[in-house]
Structures are given as structure tokens and as C-alpha cells.
Amino acid sequence: MINKEQMQKNLKENILMLRKFKGINSEVAREARLECLNSLGVDTSTFERSSLSSEAVSSNIESFIGTYNIPTGVVGPIALKHEGGTVENIFTLVGTTEGALVASMNRGSAILRASGGFQAIVQKQRMLRAPIFQFENLYEANYFSTWIQEKIEELRVYLKKYSKHSNLIEIKTNLMGKNVDSKFYYTTGDASGQNMTTICTWHACLWIEKEFFKSANFKIKDFVLEGNGASDKKISYASIQGGRGVDVVAECFLSHEILEKKLKVSAKDLLKWFNISYQLTTFDGMLGNNVNVANAIAAMFVTAGQDLACLVESSVGFLQLEPHEKGIYFSLKLPKLVIGTVGGGTGLPQAKAVLQMMDCYGPGKVERFAKLIAGFALGLEISTISAMVSGQFAIAHERLGRNKPVDYLDIKKLDTSFFQNNKIIQKNEKITFIENLTECNGIVMELSSKNTPKAIGFSHWEIFSEGKKENAILKNKATSRETLNCMYLMTGMIDPKLAKYFMMYQESSEFIGCHSRELALCEFFKKNKTVSVPRVYGTYLNEDSETYFILMQYLNTSEMKVMNSENDVHLWDDGLITKAITQVTKLHKDLNEFDIEKFETSKSKETLFEFSEYSIEILRDQYEKRYPGLEDLFNKSLNYLKNNSNKENTLFKVCIHNDFNPRNIAYSNDEKFYFYDWELATSGLPHRDILELYLFCLHSPNLKMSFDEISELHRKLWSDKDILPAQWREGYKEVLSDFIVSRLVFYLLGHQLRHYSFLDQLVRNVINFNQKERIL
């Protein structure tokens, strides 16, 4: 640590060093600057490596030390519809640190593709400088205003010697007392033109000063190159109306079907709130009327080598919505888009690559670039305003832009001493991190990991003990609140109203306490040396860092006969399912010593019923024809649960797995079962685990046992309960109804966001099972 006295001494020396390299961009100069900053206690390690050489940026920056990384994402393709009717699909890259932006731009691009594309027209391209000329009195100023209009053509020809690409097209003057406020308008080809118009206007002022003296009997008293009238990197009505940058307009049409099915909003609601918003922007004096075009433009400016300071004026936008009997007409006007496809930062390697990706690099491309910016911005406008009206806006930002201030534990930095001190491994053992295992993540864990910077999921470790090596897996869990939040956001992405129903249901859902429940069960398994689960080395819980993990046996697929078999159940035959039922029943009995009740939530089912009913309603169009009988079966299940939810249970309940299917069961080469992922464990009829496994495996060509045989096998394993076959079978009404309403519905919803290969066959199995067995 550098003390203040030393830092002050270093500061004086460094100022002298920096002066030595002032105006020099070289590697020697860059290293000297980095050394100066280091001596002042500044950590420059993230800047020391640069993909750009000092010489490559000599015309872009001074006092160069390195480059700054900005997260970059891909957006598109967006569909540009040309005048002849052909449609071109185009990708771009955008830079941002704002979560949800890229997702929303991609949604907007997808909507434009679905609607047939957007069209765009460039009306004009201009750049201006605004010198002020000072005179002795008003009459002299007025004489000058007339004189300069007569000299425009002569001046235009003269300025060609200073720029091949700029063309003086107009000079406007305005008397401000004895001063003449002038505006020199140019076209500047494919460059934004700020530098070339500065140079041209400077030489124009010198020429004017000289030529005016020849034709008048008085001199220009003084002039300044820029009197701030150009609104350079600022917003003004004058620059909007007179022109500064590219003036571009984009349009598209969205049908009622696209609005309602893809954007989850009606034309009526969208127009209502847009018109109310327009009134408020007018009342507030807002310059322009748009939702957030600056987001799209800034993100594209970053990656395409544009002048970032011009964002403030380039983001003036006018969004327009017009009702149509078949939907809504949208247009977006960007009147002062200050952009270029040559010069400035466009020649830097990454900017050049992005522009080339869009076929927007070099001469003759600026109009195309303007159209694409307008199109991507229009897509974002449509996505954002629809999300706001439908209620998805806050949901998306909570899901994609979460930034919770928690000091999360870095799993990869854990060492042997950490595991030993927390009694997870023995003192004579060592442990080493190998890799993260993203392919092992289950549905709940995968969804949760997308909503937090915390390292949720599985990782592979090696434990060394007395010359032996054991493979272990560390499961770092999401909290139940993170899981519920993720489920809420997932439902919101499907339908905002569905998210409201889930919010009402979540406090009584099976996800409450899922993280602490599994850790407690694993400690129980460790203490009792339970044989039908992976070996548990230990668990760790830290509320402050929200760390809840389990270190357990790594199940190597090469050592398993059956594992992760939900998509291929052909190995599940009569013998295997009999062994599984027998083993899990034994475990159910052992778990009588585990107090699952303390992890239970309210048993009220009313909010679940409302959530599930609405889920089926919004899924009806997708599944009604594909799965005949599904909705009828759902209604029967719902009615059964409603009619029996308050009745006293005549059977008995145990701690069940509650997610007992081939996704969570392994069977080893040495004929040993491993049941894992206990986060949804709950108190319920033992029938629940048996039925779920059977429903997943029902279509196996090697499973010949009838359901009556399965049920009777299971009943006899509980012979101590002395329950008659008919009464035992009655329990399957409850668990089948519960499986359909509380689990199958969630699978169908999750399938909207992630493809579940097993789902199609599972739904058919459930329908076929009930039709044959007449359970409901």
C-alpha cells in the first residue's frame, strides 16, 4: 500500500514523465503512462493487454494506455424490405451493460421478421457549422447577410479544394443585433462530416473576411468559427428542422394476430396508452416522442465506431402509431442521426467488422446504415412499448437485469482448508476443482442460474485420500426465493397475467424452502449412511453469501447401466421397475425419522387451482388438437382436488421424493440404485413417486407389467399398513390429479421456453394411462 507522502512524490515525478510523452502514441509512451499510474496505486492490469496498437489509434485518441471492454451481443436478423419487395435479413452486434436490452432488440427484430419486414427512406443528409460574424452596427450586419447569399456558388467552388466529399448547399443567416448568426449546411457523403465541415467552414470564414473587404467599404469586425448555433452534440429545434446528420424514417405494419400472440397485447390497449403518453410528452415539453430509441442507437454506436457524444442529438426520435382495421401502423423518424461509414472510428478493426457484417462499411453505405439503425430502433420501440402495456417490462428487467448486492462465494476459489475447516472432508484428504458441469443442471437449477450472478449449478471435483482418488460433484443451489423469482419471471415471459396468478400461488408452492430442505435431507442421508442415494461428503450453508451447497459422489455414466434416461426408457423393464419400487419404498420407510413437516408450506390449494386453470386456458390453442382429451383430463383432476382437498386422508403420508422419474434415478453396473435431486421432497402419499416413475416409463417396449400388478406390488411392500386393494388404488386418484395439475402443467409451460424432449410422450402416456385404467 502506497502512503500519501510517497504518492505525492510519485505524482510530481509522473507529471514530468507524462509531459515527456505528451502527444506521442507509441508502445514506449503507453508503457510509461501505465507505469506512472501503477506508481500512484492504480490497478491497470485490465488495461495492459490491448488488441489495438498505439500506432493504430493515433488519429482516434491521445495519451493512449489500452482498451476498455464492453459486453457485446448479437441481434437479429432483422428483415429490411426493399422498394422492389425483396426482403433482406441482417444481423448486427451491439455493445451494452444494460441487462434486457439485447433480448428486447432481438424480440423486436423477430416481430419485424414475422410481419414481413420494415421499410425505410432517407430524406436527406446534412452537417452544419454555425460561425458568428460581428459588425459595428445593425446596418453593416444586414448588408453582410445579403452579400453572403450572393457568394454561395463562388464559395462552394472554392471549398472543393479543401474537401472532396463535402458540398456546401446552403447558408442561412439571422440577425442578432449587430451580430450575424450564420448556418453553413453541407452534404458530407458517407462521413458524419463534423471534421471536414469544421475545416471547410474555417477556410470559408477566411475567404469571406478577405472577399467581403473588397466589395464593402467596411470590414468584418470579428468572427468565431462556431457560435454554438450548430447544436453540435446538443438538441435544438433548429437542428431538427434545418438538418444535422441523416434524416431517416422507418415503417412497419403489425397485424392483430402478431400483437396478441407474439407481443401479448391488444391494438386497443397499445393505442390507448400510446395516445395518453403522447399527451404527457407534449405537456412536459419533451423534444421528440419515443420510448427508448437511445438504447438501440447507443448500443450500435459503440460497436460501429461512431462518435458516442453524438448520441444525445442522434436519439431524437418521433414514434407514430396509427390504428388500422387489421392491426397497427408504426413509423419512427430519426431526423438527426449523426453517423458515418468512413472516417473516425469506423476503420478500427472491430468497428469495421461490424459495419461489414451489415454491408455498411465504406463509401456509398451511409444511407443503408441509417435505415438499419432506424429499423433496429423501431423494433426495440415496438418491443418495449408492448412490454410496458402488457406488464412484461418490469418482469424482463428483473429477469435479465438483476443486480443484487450480495458478496457471493466464488466456488472455484475454494481450497482444501475451506472444506476441511467446515468438516466436509477429512483432515487427511485434499480436494481440487476440475470443471463446471452445465450439462448436469436440472430444469429448476438451469432456470434459476439465468437470473443471478451467483454460480448456481454443478461442478466436478477430485478428492485425494491416502493415495486414492475419488470423483465428487458439488451442487451449489439457488435459494427458494431465487427459484420462485425465476418461475415468476418465466411465467411473465409467457403471459403477464399468468405471472400474477403465480405470484398469488408461490407462497404455498412446493418450491418454498427447496434449498434448505435438500441440504437437511442430505445431512440425514450422511448421518444414516443411506445406500440408495449418492454418497454425501457434507453440506455447507452461509446465509450472508447465500451459499447452499452439497458435496457428494460423482456418478460416472460409464459406471451406470441406466442414467438420465427420461428421453429413452427402453431399459426400464419389469425387473428394473420392480427393484426401483422396492428400493424407494424402503427409503420411504427410513425417512419416517426425517421431519419433513417443518419444511412444509400452507396446504391451501386454491391459488394453485387458479394458476393451473389459467395456464390451460392460454395453452389451449397449442395443445388442444395435439393432445385430444388432455383438457378433459385436466378438468377431471381439478374437480377431484377441489372436491377432496378438505377431506381427511384415509391412507398415510410419508416423505416422498416428489420428482421421482428417470431424470433423477441412476442404476449402476453393480446393480445399485441412486436417487438424487431431492429439492422438491414433501409429505405425500407414497403412491406419488411410484405413479410418476410408471408414467414416464409406460411406453417402454420392455415393460410388460400391468398397472394393477404395479399397484399390488407396492401395496404388499406396505403390508404392515393392512390396506385393502380397492382402498390402496383410491390413493392413485389423488396423486394422478396432483401430478397433472401441479407438475404436468409446469412442464407444458416450461416447454414454451425450453424444449423438453420427453414431454410429448409423457403427455400421451398420461392420457392413455387414464383412458385404460379409468382412474379419473
Cα distance from N-terminal residue to C-terminal residue, the chain: 74
Three-point CA angle 637, 639, 640, nearest 5°: 65
98 catalytic per annotation: yes
546 catalytic per annotation: no
Helix (H, G, I), strand (E, B) or coil at 501: helix
* Alpha carbon separation from 33 to 18, 51, 53 (Å, rounded): 7, 18, 15
* Alpha carbon separation from 372 to 76, 308, 366, 758, 773 (Å, rounded): 11, 18, 10, 41, 59
Angstrom distance (rounded) from CA 475 to CA 472 = 10
Is 499 within 8 Å of 491 (Cβ atoms)? Answer: yes
Q: Which of 170, 307, 359, 613 is catalytic?
A: 307
| Residue 719, Cβ density class (10 Å: 0-12 exposed, 13-18 middle, ≥19 buried) | exposed
Angstrom distance (rounded) from CA 669 to CA 675 = 15
Is 41 within 8 Å of 1 (Cβ atoms)? Answer: yes
Angstrom distance (rounded) from CA 132 to CA 179 = 7
Cell of 656: 416422498
Displacement of CA 197 from its chain's centroid (Å): 41
* Alpha carbon separation from 282 to 279, 329, 382, 717 (Å, rounded): 5, 21, 20, 75
Q: What is the DSSP string of 306-366?
A: --GGGHHHHT--EEEEEEETTEEEEEEEEEEE---SSSGGGGSHHHHHHHHHTT--STT-H
Cell of 595: 421431519
Cell of 616: 390451460
Tell me the residue ranges of DSSP E strands in 161-311.
167-176, 179-187, 222-224, 245-255
Beta-carbon contacts of residue 248 (< 8 Å; ≥ 6 apart): 120, 121, 122, 123, 333, 334, 337, 367, 370, 371, 373, 374
Pick from 79, 56, 89, 87: nearest CA to 352: 56
Strands 665-668, 673-675: pairing is antiparallel
Angstrom distance (rounded) from CA 162 to CA 355 = 27
Tell me the residue ranges of DSSP E strands in 379-450.
429-436
Is 493 within 8 Å of 392 (Cβ atoms)? Answer: yes
Number of alpha carbons in the 13 Å side-chain half-sphere of residue 768:
13
Q: Which of 140, 232, 381, 397 is catalytic?
A: 397
Backbone angles phi, psi at 441, to 5 degrees: -65, 130
Q: Cell numbers 414454451 correspond to what residue?
A: 752
Angstrom distance (rounded) from CA 587 to CA 656 = 9
Cell of 682: 414433501
Strands 468-476, 72-81: pairing is unpaired
Number of alpha carbons in the 13 Å side-chain half-sphere of residue 714:
28
712 catalytic per annotation: no
Angstrom distance (rounded) from CA 172 to CA 174 = 7
Cell of 408: 457471493
Pick from 102, 158, 172: nearest CA to 379: 102
Angstrom distance (rounded) from CA 62 to CA 23 = 6
Residues recognised as catalytic: 98, 307, 397
